[in-house]
């Protein structure tokens, strides 16, 4: 894990000229390389920015909120890398204060080869290799809960979904080679979840900043608590990981993954006392999860419509297009 040094004035220019509705048409164009449920990841189309992946978080109300997020973000990367032993990519962090509107943080990472990302691998590798990939992820997750068991006062949460992992030492020109001793990188560190003496370090309200304001109370009441706590529960993290195979268009792998997970739970991770997983639970979890995110995105679009067409105010978030679930 290293630190990247970033050209801040270029980013300021980029932010100034950004067209959130059509990032590729911005003054300095951006090429989208991935969507999360909440944010967008892109490459800035400038000679000097090749090989860097940017994640834009336009959600901060004050400088101290940004600074706090920065230290939590850095600490989360450090904890995973140094305390848990999960490798994270080189990264950097830039704060931008525009003339008006929210303050913006750009998380920057070294760009990993797109074909090395887990959800891509699910479509290019053999089923046997997909199972090996799954096993590697389970092994990484076990490290987190073994750390948590040590009761150091720090408890770490993680989003284990397959789209958050990349195969290390990947050679673009060759087909993916995976073996039980291959190494993975975990790159979804922008939602730093850890508790110190039981206290969640990140302010969960931050997750809601990009939500339509008319919805915040509803989300808080319905599922914010749930969405955050599931990442501290190894059983739920594995259910989430497997259920995501529906979204990744590989539901055919689910039975084998469940069997493998239950093996892992009863043998390799026996001391962690994880409840076994069953197919029904995976299915109903997926239905609910897909419904929540679909609804969420639809309401954000509605919010954008109200803001721009009715209230004639700027809408600062980049929204994903259609997502297959």
Ligand X SMILES: Nc1ncnc2c1ncn2[C@@H]1O[C@H](COP(=O)(O)OP(=O)(O)OP(=O)(O)O)[C@@H](O)[C@H]1O
Structure tokens at 19: 């067209």
158 binds ligand X (CB under 6 A): no
The residues pairing with 137 across neighbouring beta strands, listed in sequence order, are none
Closest distance of CB 188 from ligand X, Å: 4
Query: Which CB, 112 or 316, lies closer to ligand X?
Result: 112
307 binds ligand X (CB under 6 A): no
* 309 CB neighbour count, 10 Å cutoff: 9
Stretch that binds ligand X, among 30-38, 64-72, 93-101, 273-281 (CB under 6 A): 30-38
Under DSSP, is residue 42 helix (H, G, I), strand (E, B) or coil? strand
* Distance of alpha carbon 187 from alpha carbon 242, whole angstroms: 19
Closest distance of CB 268 from ligand X, Å: 26
188 binds ligand X (CB under 6 A): yes
Query: Which CB, 29 or 269, lies closer to ligand X?
Result: 29
Which of the choices ligand X, Mg ion, none does residue 148 contact, using the CB cut-off of 5 to 8 A by kind? none
* Binds ligand X by CB under 6 A, chosen from 26, 102, 148, 191: 191
Closest distance of CB 46 from Mg ion, Å: 25
36 binds ligand X (CB under 6 A): yes
CA 73 to chain centroid: 13
CB 303 within 8 A of CB 209: no
34 binds ligand X (CB under 6 A): yes
H or E stretch including 197?
Answer: none
Query: Which CB, 156 or 265, lies closer to Mg ion?
Result: 156
Which of the choices ligand X, Mg ion, none does residue 187 contact, using the CB cut-off of 5 to 8 A by kind? ligand X
* Binds ligand X by CB under 6 A, chosen from 109, 193, 209, 317: 109
Which residues would be at the binding site for Mg ion (CB under 5 A)? Answer: 36, 164, 188
76-106 burial: b if 16+ Cβ within 10 Å, else e: bbebbeebbebbbbebbbbbbeeeeebbbbb
Which of the choices Mg ion, ligand X, none does residue 53 contact, using the CB cut-off of 5 to 8 A by kind? ligand X
H or E stretch including 54?
Answer: strand 52-60
* Distance of alpha carbon 175 from alpha carbon 115, whole angstroms: 9
Q: What's the Cα-to-Cα distance from 183 to each of 15, 165, 281, rounded to whole Å?
A: 35, 10, 30
Query: Which CB, 16 or 168, lies closer to ligand X?
Result: 168
77 binds ligand X (CB under 6 A): no
* Distance of alpha carbon 257 from alpha carbon 262, whole angstroms: 9
Query: Which CB, 117 or 269, lies closer to ligand X?
Result: 117
251 binds ligand X (CB under 6 A): no
The residues pairing with 30 across neighbouring beta strands, listed in sequence order, are 44
* Binds ligand X by CB under 6 A, chosen from 190, 241, 244, 246: 190
């Amino acid at each position: 894990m290293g630190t990247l040094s970033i050209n801040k004035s270029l980013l300021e220019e980029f932010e100034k000229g950004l067209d959130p509705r059509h990032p590729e048409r911005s003054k300095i164009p951006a090429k989208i390389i991935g969507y999360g449920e909440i944010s967008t990841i892109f490459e800035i189309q400038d000679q000097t920015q090749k090989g860097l992946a940017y994640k834009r978080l336009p959600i901060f109300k004050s400088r101290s909120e940004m600074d706090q997020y920065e230290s939590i973000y850095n600490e989360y990367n450090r904890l995973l890398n140094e305390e848990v032993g999960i490798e994270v990519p080189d990264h950097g962090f830039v704060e931008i204060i525009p003339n008006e509107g929210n303050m913006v943080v750009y998380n920057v990472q070294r760009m990993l080869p797109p074909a090395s990302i887990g959800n891509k691998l699910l479509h290019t590798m053999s089923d046997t290799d997909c199972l090996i990939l799954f096993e590697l992820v389970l092994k990484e997750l076990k490290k987190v809960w073994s750390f948590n068991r040590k009761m150091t006062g720090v408890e770490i949460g993680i989003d284990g979904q397959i789209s958050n992992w990349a195969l290390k030492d990947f050679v673009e020109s060759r087909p993916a080679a995976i073996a039980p001793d291959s190494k993975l990188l975990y790159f979804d560190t922008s939602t730093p979840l850890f508790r110190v003496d039981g206290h969640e370090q990140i302010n969960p309200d931050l997750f809601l900043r990009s939500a339509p304001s008319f919805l915040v109370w509803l989300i808080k009441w319905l599922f914010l608590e749930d969405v955050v706590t599931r990442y501290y529960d190894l059983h739920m993290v594995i259910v989430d990981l497997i259920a995501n195979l529906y979204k990744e268009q590989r539901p055919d792998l689910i039975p084998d993954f469940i069997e493998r997970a239950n093996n892992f739970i009863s043998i390799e991770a026996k001391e962690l006392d994880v409840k076994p997983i069953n197919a029904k639970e995976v299915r109903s979890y997926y239905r609910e999860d897909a419904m929540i995110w679909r609804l969420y995105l639809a309401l954000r679009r509605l919010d954008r419509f109200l803001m721009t067409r009715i209230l004639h105010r700027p809408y600062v978030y980049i929204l994903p297009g259609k997502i297959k679930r």
